[in-house]
Structure 1
């Protein structure tokens, strides 16, 4: 491979910036543009060296700290040089230009991590975790992606692969060698093992939506009939007067958004126009937009006021996760609140004016969206690619179980084919058999210096 160079720190002014070089000519390049007082080997593995950097005319223009990582004990698995110097864009641009003149080329987005993958330093799941960790919006998201980067999900996938390979060996022994009756407990043992594999896959898939929300944020729609307290609730949860409120129905005609954090997850609250039949063109458009937001949401807060009858149509607003919220509890007696709790045991009874019931509402939201802490032992799939491939693996496992449960002789030849397909899917998740197009798609989303 050739030698690449890029800035590894964010662009702009700062105390320090880092330029990273990776490839076989890394050491030669830094020797050509720097000078140090050391007479012997200037750059030792994992040692820092103070140098002066020189331009093409041999004139010093900067001092920097050089750190050398000898292959294969580096991030990319190649010889890597990191130049730490003053965080001035003009200085950094000069350093990168000199590196290119003396033998390097500008790195493509994600090329350092791609080389780490190609050189066997990380698998594809860990490579995807690098990008997710960089772009995580919360501490929870960063912590979860750190677990992925250090191989928690990869270990689960490799354990599944080992289990499937063991099953496949027993079944193909039966097909190729055994002339006697079936091995004792072959079918029952295989079914039991496949059931355990299916449980592991299911737990990984179940958390995918939660991981997506941790990394990208969640959308929560506040909906209901006009004047049920949607805007007041938005203001209460966000802590600011984001939406205009008033006693007149239909104050909100368009969507109003506010951002909060729930259990470490960034959440966008969306206040919407009241749901009702109207001849007013603007109000009708507002209702259409409300329904679109509901369809795109991760969770819906369906509001009904405590001072009006509650009907089923007010609650059946979404097929997705929905929390029934009874508002205006400040207008109710304790007896009426108890009555609501008995009639609607799953509802959250609140007053946005007094903040009564708000902590319980936030807990209910967290539960309905399936959010979990990064400290949880659950290790879910983190990307859509991983989810899609793992679903294919699950289908192969299900087909294998059905074939083994077939009355009469089990269809071992077909079971063998399904298990081989499942193994192939696991290899694709780990990046063992990924095409160049897939790899380019994954790494192109990275920043240049990573």
Structure 2
């Protein structure tokens, strides 16, 4: 599905830099390059082996040198787009890049649309839609773990698994259609039994993928976490300890933090959007009261709550108000100030909440911080999902489609259990097959493809 027109764009970030790259892709890429690039050797680009870096100059229409460059010709289909591709590496000054790009337009290329190079790679069959979407995930990765997952998706980990499941479902449909066309009453029991087992097996594999979606989204977007507690329990000290810097003001006086302080960091390999909130309690101070209101509002947005409590004091009415406010939310209870005295509230908290969610620390001496980080890592990954072979889906579009496919497979299993007509089973299985095909791009509509690539940056 090689495109007829030729496109070009700057593929490096805007602004002055050491190097700038202009990419040309399409049937006329070599012809366009030959009119503006002149190798120092005097040879034409096509005389060099594909993927060879060639030294020379880009010259304007009057034959004047614009820049000293390195140019590489990547012959189709061994290129990013599976088309003929030329990449010109020039100095990173804006004037040089602009003039070289303008020359590509003059000699016949048109400006590339956002994501069009990757879109062509998809349309030309070099990559599937999962691999295409992973390109932006690689660019936007917030942690080493998120980058690793994105690279795995680009290498086809998820695509391979989905193709395996789709193959099994196609076999189910073929089986059912064969029985419909050639009915035999004596194989009916066997048919329902085999079909149910096959669909259940596929449903379990889909369920495993969905289990990893929570982890994938956190690693991609960051775990939105709020540190809450009444004044002077050590919330800001905990923030500073996790950040390994004095970001928040720490004082022995109450009400020091009067607003929400947000920071991004990586804890135990997990990207975290961490917010230190104003101490939640009753106050008549107008500014502090606004901070408390913002803290309460932030609780609704946070996925995880770090409830900080003073382990040297009994639970107060303000503590109880906070504990009531987080009812039903994901929370870990951090008992602070263990360097001053043995905690007198840990046992009480462990009885009211899960004991594994109560962690004693000293924000001052950093004792227990490693246990908090381990807890956080297990919260994100789960206790049994940390191998290199695990697949974590990060993309919301893919997650939604997979959830719908799971619902269809559930309906198909129930239909087999209730011995509904084979046509009913086929409809549900075929829907799941189509939905998973939309993830990889095998059954996706053109408008969805256009919408996906429109989110990419120009040059990618």
Q: Sort the TM-score into its range (normalised by shorter chain).
A: over 0.9
For 1:365, the equivalent position in structure 2 comes to 376
Give the counterpart of 1:16 among 10, 14, 19.
19
Partner of 1:265: 270
Q: 1:285 to 1:182 in 2, by over 3 A?
A: farther
Q: Which runs of 5+ in 1 are unaligned?
A: none
1:333: Cα distance to partner?
3.4
Which of residues 17, 34, 37 is equivalent to 2:37?
34
Instruction: Note the 1:437-448 alignment, pairs <5 A.
Output: 437-448=447-458
2:257 is aligned with 1:252: yes
Match of 1:118 among 101, 123, 127: 123
User: Taking structure 1 as the reference length, what is the TM-score of the superposition?
Assistant: 0.92
Q: CA deviation at 1:313?
A: 5.0
Instruction: Name the CA shift for 1:62/1:119 in 2 (closer, same or farther; >3 Å).
Output: same
**Change in CA separation of 1:286 and 1:182 when aligned onto 2, cut-off 3 Å:** farther
The answer to whether 1:133 aligns with 2:172 is no
Q: For residues 311-333 of structure 1, what are the alpha-carbon distances to aligned partners after superposition, in whole Å with 9 as ceiling and x for unaligned?
A: 76543415332101111212323
Aligned mates of 1:374, 1:90 — CA distance in 2: 48
Q: Distance in 2 between matches of 1:330 and 1:430?
A: 54
What is the distance in 1 between the residues matched to 2:173 and 2:305? 46
**Counterpart of 1:25?**
28
Cα 1:40/1:118, change in 2 over 3 Å: closer
1:35-434 equivalences in 2 (<5 Å)? 35-36=38-39, 37-38=42-43, 41-183=46-188, 185-310=190-315, 314-316=322-324, 317-333=326-342, 343=351, 345-346=355-356, 347-370=358-381, 376-406=388-418, 409-434=419-444
* Cα distance, 1:284 vs structure 2: 3.8
> What is the root-mean-square deviation of aligned Cα atoms in Å?
2.4
Give the CA deviation at 1:362. 1.4
Q: Confirm or deny: 8 A CA contact 2:258 2:287 kept in the other structure.
A: yes
Could you say what secondary structure the match of 1:78 adopts?
Answer: coil
- Cα distance in 2 for partners of 1:273, 1:39 equals 67
Write out per-residue CA displacement over residues 256-299 of structure 1, whole angstroms, 9 at most, x where no aligned residue: 12332112232222111222344554444323321221221131
Number of corresponding residues: 447
| Greater alpha carbon shift after TM alignment, 423-432 vs 208-217 | 208-217
Structure 2 residue runs of 5 or longer lacking an equivalent are none
Counterparts of 1:404 and 1:371, CA distance in 2:
33
Within 2, Cα distance between the matches of 1:15 and 1:378?
Answer: 38
CA distance in 2, matches of 1:41, 1:290: 64
1:245–1:64 distance in 2 versus 1, CA, 3 Å: closer
